[in-house]
Structures are given as structure tokens and as C-alpha cells.
Amino acid sequence: MSFVFGNPWGLLGLLGVPVLVLIYFLRRKAKVEVVTTLFLLKRLRRESKGGRRFEKLERSIPFWLQLLAVLLLTWILSKPKFGNERAMQQVAVIVDSSASMLGCRNQFGERLGTALREVAAEADHSVFYVLDHDARRSRMYQGENIDELLMVMEGWDPKDGARDPRQAIRIGRSLVGPGGRVIYVTDHAGGDLPLGCERLAVGSGLANCGFTGVEVTRSDDGWVWSAMVRNYGDGEAKREWVVETLDGRRTEPRGVVIGGRSFVTLRGVFPEGVDRCVLRLSDDEMGLDDVVPIVKESPRVARLEVLGGGRVVELGDRMVEGFEHVGEAGEVADLRLGILNLDDEVRIGTSGIYFSLGGQESPRGRILMGESELLRGLNFQALKVAKVRRWKVRQGDEVLLWMGEVPLIFVRTAEDGLRSLVFGFSLDESNALKLPGVAVLLHRFCELVAKAGDAKFAMSVDTGQLLSGLFPTGVSGDRMRLVVRDLKGGEKEMELGAEFRRVLRAPREPSFLELDLDGERLAEIAVQFGDTREADLSRAGSVDLPEREVRLAELRTRGDWFWRWFGVGVLVLSLVAWYYLGSDLRGRKVGGE
Amino acid sequence: MKLEVLERLELEGRRVAERLRLPLGSRVWRGQTGEFRGGGVGSSVDFQDHRAYVVGDDPRHINWQAYARTGEYSMKLYREEVRPLVDVVVDVSDSMWLDLKGKRLGELVYFLVNGVGQVGASLRVWMVKGGEFCEMELDGVLGHGWVKESQSLSGAEEEVPDLSRLGLRSGAMRVLVSDLLFEGDPGGMIRSLGDRGGSGLLIVPFAREEEDPGWDGSYDFIDAELRTKHPYEVGAGVLERYLASYRRHMALWREECLKGQVTMMRVRVEGGLYESLVEEGLRVGGLEVVP
């Protein structure tokens, strides 16, 4: 078994031995005594010829205890290591799967393979765990074969946004333990990593150009798109761009010159007869931002039917005009706006916003707010109500606002789940419409109703974004169908599982989504690459794994497992030596007396 | 040793000699007329036997009462009273003068000289130091000159005293005062004490630090006689072996005394002289109480 000192400087502790001997020689002085029985002592043959001083040490218990303590301390400080007959190491490789890694995709496999082979050479056996930087994803590889690992990594598709890898690094550390290696493979040479995590940067600075944002608006000329193209490089870049439709039409390529580190905005009208199209730049290393799908965006709305007249009609018009989520009802209405008597039942079959018909009593008391998401951050203290109607609160009603004991505003939920917002006063006998709080309350309620409705809409989302807000509330997944249409013409249906509202995300690359409800098209969605931070490849860099000579020795050897016990031994020896020295001093004192 | 100290020691020896003495009365003496019972018929007042009168007998000892009853002369025989002989040999080697032992030595000398003098015994005193010796006049001893005389002896300390060279008297009680702390065969000395009709008594003063020194640690031992320095490390083991060696040494002397019918009594140097003498002297028959 081989043997090395992890800290050879610790052997300097041996200097404590001559120091200790010197101290004892200086400290202990022989007593002079006249004796008459020396011949008896001579018989014992204990007289040492010149070795008396060492005999003195020989019989000094504290000296030997302290000497042993010094030797143990030297042993601990020098960190002795014994050879490992079978050296094994575990290595966790955390791969940065952000889109910027596309810039180094070509050299990724070669660099990773070289680095891992160097790591593997440090031990007889190496077990590799490859994890994605998104800790929620399953392990990409586990095994000892680097070739297999690289083969698996060929199917790796880095298209995420920027992500903090710390959670994945923590999982990697827990997999390999404190003695294993954790390597974070990325394309960035800088940035902080958790202690003990090594960086392997495989990137190289590239001059990338791509779309950084797009806006679709409706103007007098029709639907117009406006896209911003950014050059992340220092030099001027020349690109060509086209507009494509899903039926294969394509505009003539047009050139664009973008100065270093600057922007250019492209504008155009939607192609004739389509609701969606694709803007495409000529390809470069980073392809995700070279293409952007766009749709004629129209928000999801609650179709409003106004019942009554006067100020209610006025309010309805203002809501249609001012609220994004409110539209005019046609044949179908999702939301009714009207006035109710106490004797009237809240109408079923549709959600509604109702004001009371003339008040009967003057309310007294303070305004108290209930706990509801609809009221979050709102203030109604300025609300003035001359007369109120005393509505009976039923089980299931959610009172939003009280004045004394009179419910001023409440939400009533019918048996079919449709909700109505009821005001216990009339518009004429209050200043409600002048209050921002009431406007926001109405807006929020309309948005709720719109999200639960089945009005058609079109919108844009980012790649990888959660789609929870996409689906109408209260509608089961089996009534809906979600299809992904990639920009190469492919089509794939996404499964709406039990937890689809919570977990379903948009595709990781630009594409179109089509959402159908009961066989009818409900929504068209453009999925756009949205993390422009990942598009800047100019800051990518290359860093090799650090030299690990010390680690190599550590791996091929194991430390002294008993060093803690030796530490305790040093303490005990020191205490016992101290006790003996103390008793020696006590003895001298008594003798002196 | 200062004169006043010697006088104080002499006073103490004389005081103890009034209460204790050598066992002169417990044995039958031969020799000059004296106060102790002799082996023959003498003129003491102690009646011993009757016998028929023969010519030449002292008519003062004719038993006239018996003649009146029987008409024959018979003689009353009385115990002979003789003068005992006591030879005292004092070991005056340097080890005998160490601290308390030196004082005890002085007390013992004065005790013996005074005690022997009080009973009218014939006393001769020798001082020995290694292979050298000298005989002291009694006046010289009682005049405290013996200390100076003894210090003038230059005998080699390592030599064992040869008592046969002293000319000890036949039939004398031979008293040797020595700490016995020297190497050599004790048999020769013991035989010298007991031969030619003599009876031996060995008085051995000893100090507590010899018997149980309690050494522990580093020592530079100075030989009391040679004045040479000897460095030693004494731990529990060494001390234990020393004690065993000391006990063996004394046991060897005691064994030789037993063989040679010499009485050996050890006298502690610590404490009073009387108490130290009584402690072992009466038990082993080395001393007797003055009647």
C-alpha cells in the first residue's frame, strides 16, 4: 500500500520534539543529596554512564505524553494518505440547455468528450451522470461509457431560455457526494458557480443577428406587422428577410444592413387572406431568433349584452370601448349588464353585472371590504351611496363590500357556475362610476368572464411559456384539442393530460398552436422565441477544466480515517500531561514546606 | 563537632547509662576480681555450695554451725566475683558522622563508656576507619578527644575493617558500633567478635533516610565517604529495588550474627537515645535494665 503526506509542511511539527526535549532539560534540575548507601545503588547497576539526562526523560510520564501528543499532532497536520487499490469517482455533468448553446453545438461533443476522458483518466472507474440545467427534466445519461454518453448528447436540443443552474448543480452534488466532481458545461466563461462546481465553457464569441421583438397592429391600411432586428456583433451585418405563409407563399428576399450593436425595424402588411404568417431572416449559427411566427392578435373577450337604458347603456358603451376583454354581443352573449329589482332573480344562463333599481334606505356605518382577488389593491372609502336596497345574502354569495350591515356589492354564483356581480345601489344614487376602484373591479370581473367564455381569440406566447391562461376555465380537456404546427409544415397534437392547465408549456421553438373547442377553432397562437439574452453569442467563451493534480492524489489515496480520534487523543494526552505536571508542582511545594 | 555539642551528647549518654547497660550480668565471667559473678568460687556474698575442709582453706569460710551439729569441718563456698572485660570498637568512617547519625554515634560512645565504667568493667576502646584503627585512652574518650582522633584516621573507606588486628581480649564482651554500610563479607567481622571466648554485640545505628529514602526524580548523589558525585534518575522501580537491596544487606548481617552467636541491635538515629535503645536492645538482649 502506497503512502503519501497530503500536507508535507505538517511534518514541521516534528520540530516540536527537540523543542520539547530542550524544555525538559532546562526545566528539570537534579537534586544534590549526600548518601551513605551508594554501594547499594551501584549494585543495582542503574548508574548511567553519561546517559542520565535521557534516563530522566525515560521516567518522565508527562514528557512521554507530550511527546506522543506532538507526534499525533504532526500526523494529523501532515494529512497522511494511503493508496487506494481501487479508485472510483463519480462525475455529475450539468449541461446548460439554454438556446445560446446552439452557437457551440458543433464543437460541443468534441470538447465534452475530451474533457470527460481527461477526468476519467484520474480513476480506475468513473460513473457519469448527465443532467439538464432544468432540474425538473429527467436524467439524460448515467453510466461509465463516454462514447455512449456522447451519442446520447447528439440528440440534445438546447432551446431553453436563460436559467439558474444552481438547483440542478445541487442535485448533481447530492448524486456524486462530497467526493465526486460536479461539472457545469456552458458557453459562458464568467459568472459565479456554487463552491466545488467546475466550469467547462465550450462556447466561442459569434456575431449573431435576429428578431428581438415583433408587434402586430391594426391600422387604416389593415393589419401591419413591425419587427425589430438586432445585430449582437461588433461589425456590420447583412441579412435577407422574407415573409412566408403557411400555404407556401413567400415574398421576394429583401436585404437589410444592420450596424454593429444596433437595431433595424422591419415593417410590412399582412399577406392577403391569411391570419398568420412567418418572418424569416437568412440563417446563421443561432437559428431560433431568425424566424418569428406572427398572428393577427385579437384578445379573448366577454360578449356584452346591455339590458335597460339610461346610464347602464352609457356604461356598457364605455366598457366595450375601454375594456380589452369586453366586446359587443352578437347572437351569443357571455355577459349581461342590467338593473334588478329585489324581486327579480339574477338571470341564469349568463354571467352578469347588475345594479339595483332605486334605493330604499340610507345606509349607515363604515365601508368594510371582503377578501377577494377581485378587490386586491383597491380602495372604496370614497364611495358615496345615497340609498341602498337591502339584498338578502344567500349561502354561496361572496360579499365584496359592506356598508354597516348592508351588503353593497357581492358576487352571486349560480348552480351552473356562472357568476354575477351585483351592486346594491343604483348608478344614479352613487358616485360609483367616478371611482377607479369600481372601474378596476368591473374590468377584473369582465376578464374573469372572458376567460371562462368561448369567444375566439389570437395571441402570441414565448417559447416554453406556461399555457395555463390559454384554456377557457371550467372546460375539461377532452372537449379541447391543441395542435402544434411547426414552421416546416409538420403538425403534432399535444396531449391535454390531467394536469394540463398547470404543466403544459409552449413548444421550445417558434411554431403555431391551434386550440379547438368542441371541434370549433377557439384560438390561434404564435409561439415566438422570446429570450433575447440567449441570442447574444458575442459573450460566449471557452474555459477548460482546471488542473487537478492535488485532486488526483486525493482520488488515488484515502485519508486517515482516524484523524478525529487522534485529535481527541492529543487533547486527552495534553490534559493528562497537564495533570501530571500539576501534581509534580504540588509535590514540590509540599516537599518545600 | 563542637565541644558543647559533645558535652551535651556525653550528658545524654551518661543519663541513659544510669538506666540501661550492656548485658554484663546475664553471663558468667572469668578474670580479675570484680563485681560480676565469676565462673569459679570466690569471696562474694553469694552462697554457692558446701564442701569438706581441706588444709589451706580460708578458716573464715568454715561453717561453724555445721561443725557444731556434726563435729566436722565443712566449708561454705561463695560465688566468685570477677571484673568483666569489655572491648568497644567504634566505626568512625565518614558515613557514621552524617547528620543525626553522628550525634547518635557520640551518644552511644558516651553511653557505653559511662555504662561500662559504672560497673567497674575493664574497658578498651578502638576507633576504626576502613583498614586503619587506633586505641583510645578512656580519658581521651571522656575528654572528647576521640572525635578529633578519629577524624585524623586516614583509612581507605572502601576497606572492610579487620577486627582481628585490634588485639581484642579473650573472654571479653566485644561491642562493635557501626552502621554496616560497606560492602564485604560480614562473616569475618562476626567471627572476630565471637572468637576466643568473647561475646559479641553489634550496635547498628541507622537513619530513616537510609531505610526509606523516598527518592523520586533526578539526583546527584554524593558519596558520604568518597565525596564523589554520582548522577541518578530514581523512579519507583529503582527505589523499590534499592529498598529490597537494603533489606537484603541487613538480613545478611543478621544471619551472620545468628550463626556467630553475636547479638545485633539496630538503633534508630531519630528520637531520643533511650527510646531508640529500648526499641530493640532489650528485646534482642543487647541491653539490660540497670537494677
pLDDT above 70 as % of chain A: 90
pLDDT of residue B106: 92
B53 and B182 share one domain: no
Asked if A44's CB is within 8 angstroms of B222's CB, the reply is: no
B78 and B158 share one domain: no
Is the pLDDT score of A592 beyond 70? no
CB contact residues (below 8 A), chain B span 211-250, against chain A: 213, 215-225, 229-233, 235, 238, 241-242, 245-246, 249
- Mean pLDDT score, A425-448: 92
Instruction: For the domain covering A212-296, report its CATH number.
Output: 2.60.40.10
The 8-class DSSP code of residue A416 comes to T
**Band of pLDDT at residue A591, cut at 50, 70 and 90:** very low
A550 interfacial to chain B (CB closer than 8 Å):
no
The Cα A521–Cα A221 span in angstroms is 27
pLDDT tens digit at each of 291 positions of chain B: 788 888 899 999 999 999 998 887 666 555 555 555 554 455 555 555 677 888 777 787 788 888 888 888 888 776 655 678 889 999 988 888 888 899 999 999 999 999 888 887 888 999 998 888 888 888 888 888 888 888 888 766 666 788 888 888 888 889 999 998 888 888 888 888 888 778 889 999 999 888 888 888 778 888 887 788 888 877 777 888 889 999 999 999 999 999 888 999 999 999 999 999 999 988 888 888 887
B60 and B146 share one domain: no
pLDDT of residue A150: 94
pLDDT above 90 as % of chain A: 41
* Domain boundaries along the sequence of chain A: 3-79+578-592, 88-205+539-557, 212-296, 302-452, 461-525
The Cα B124–Cα B131 span in angstroms is 19
CATH code, domain with B13: 3.40.50
Identify which has the larger pLDDT, A301 or A47: A301
What does residue A186 show for φ and ψ, rounded to 5 degrees?
-145, -175
pLDDT of residue A296: 93
CB neighbours of A329 closer than 8 A, spacing ≥ 6? A303, A304, A305, A335
B271 and B238 share one domain: yes
Asked if B249's CB is within 8 angstroms of A56's CB, the reply is: no
Classify burial at A33, counting beta carbons within 10 Å of its beta carbon; exposed 0-12, middle 13-18, buried 19 or more.
middle
The alpha-carbon gap from B203 to the nearest alpha carbon of chain A, in Å, equals 17
B77 and B97 share one domain: no
The alpha-carbon gap from B176 to the nearest alpha carbon of chain A, in Å, equals 19
Give the position of cell 489515496.
A557
Is the pLDDT score of A161 beyond 50? yes
Q: Which of A424, A334, A332 is nearest to A380 (CA)?
A: A424
Asked if B219's CB is within 8 angstroms of A30's CB, the reply is: yes
In the CATH hierarchy, which top-level class contains the domain A302-452? alpha beta
B57 and B130 share one domain: no
pLDDT of residue A587: 42
Asked if A59's CB is within 8 angstroms of B222's CB, the reply is: no
The alpha-carbon gap from B168 to the nearest alpha carbon of chain A, in Å, equals 28
Instruction: For the domain covering A88-205+539-557, report its CATH number.
Output: 3.40.50.410
Is the pLDDT score of A13 beyond 80? yes
Asked if A32's CB is within 8 angstroms of B222's CB, the reply is: yes
Chain A residues whose beta carbon lies within 8 Å of the beta carbon of residue B224: 34-36, 38
**Band of pLDDT at residue A583, cut at 50, 70 and 90:** low
B133 and B42 share one domain: no
**Band of pLDDT at residue A153, cut at 50, 70 and 90:** very high
Chain A residues whose beta carbon lies within 8 Å of the beta carbon of residue B235: 59
B50 and B194 share one domain: no
pLDDT of residue A255: 93
CB neighbours of B186 closer than 8 A, spacing ≥ 6? B180, B252, B253, B256
Residues A460/A528, Cβ–Cβ less than 8 Å: yes
pLDDT of residue A152: 93
Give the position of cell 537484603.
B248
Chain B residues whose beta carbon lies within 8 Å of the beta carbon of residue A39: 181-183
Could you tell me what percentage of chain A is helix, strand and coil, using 3-state DSSP and rounding each to the nearest 5? Answer: 30, 30, 35
Domain count for chain B, please give it: 2
What integer best gives the mean pLDDT of chain A? Answer: 86
Note the Cα B179 to chain centre separation in Å: 12
pLDDT of residue A51: 45
**Band of pLDDT at residue A247, cut at 50, 70 and 90:** confident
pLDDT of residue A117: 92
pLDDT of residue A442: 95
Asked if B98's CB is within 8 angstroms of A47's CB, the reply is: no
pTM of the full predicted structure?
0.52
- The pLDDT tens digits for A56-68 are 555 677 788 888 9
- Residue B241: which domain range? 3-29+84-289
* Last-in-domain residue among B82, B104, B123: B82
Q: Poorest-confidence range of A502-506, A551-555, A558-562, A583-587?
A: A583-587
3-class DSSP state of B26 = helix
Q: Could you tell me the sign of the dihedral formed by the alpha carbons of B93, B99, B101, B107, in that order?
A: positive
Q: Which of A417, A408, A400, A418 is nearest to A336 (CA)?
A: A418
Is the pLDDT score of A86 beyond 90? no
B130 and B10 share one domain: yes
pLDDT of residue A149: 94
> Which residues are A142's β-sheet partners?
A129
A49 interfacial to chain B (CB closer than 8 Å):
no
B180 and B206 share one domain: yes
The Cα A171–Cα A112 span in angstroms is 20
**A39: nearest CB among B183, B217, B218:** B183
pLDDT of residue A168: 94
B38 and B105 share one domain: no
**B224: nearest CB among A36, A46, A55:** A36
**Is the fold of A88-205+539-557 the same as that of A212-296?**
no
B46 and B72 share one domain: yes
Asked if B233's CB is within 8 angstroms of A56's CB, the reply is: yes
Give the position of cell 432586428.
A229
